[in-house]
Amino acid sequence: MSIDIKVLGSGCANCKRLYEEAEKAVRQLSAPAALTKVEDIREIMAYKILATPALVIDGEVKSAGRIPSAAEIITWLATAAVNQ
């Protein structure tokens, strides 16, 4: 089973940086993962976040309004992989 990762944001520079960090984390962890960008404002609002960019892993918001490091994202992905 694949880890579902979503980067929520309008496509701003910070949103792109978060997507890049998430890509790095996926490559380093080598776990099966589906990484997608969500730019539709209605879909973003469904997560009830107050700021973008946001990172969602398997339906759970892990960060909002900041860019976590690849190392931090790897920790969340490893936990998600164990929980599957």
DSSP secondary structure letters along 28-64 = HHT--EEEEEE--HHHHHTTT-SSSSEEEETTEEEEE
The residues pairing with 77 across neighbouring beta strands, listed in sequence order, are none
Q: What pLDDT, on a 0 to 100 scale, did the predictor assign at position 84?
A: 82
Backbone angles phi, psi at 7, to 5 degrees: -105, 115
Residue 70 near residue 25, CB atoms below 8 Å: yes
Mean pLDDT per 10-residue interval, the chain, length 84 residues:
94 96 94 94 95 97 97 96 88
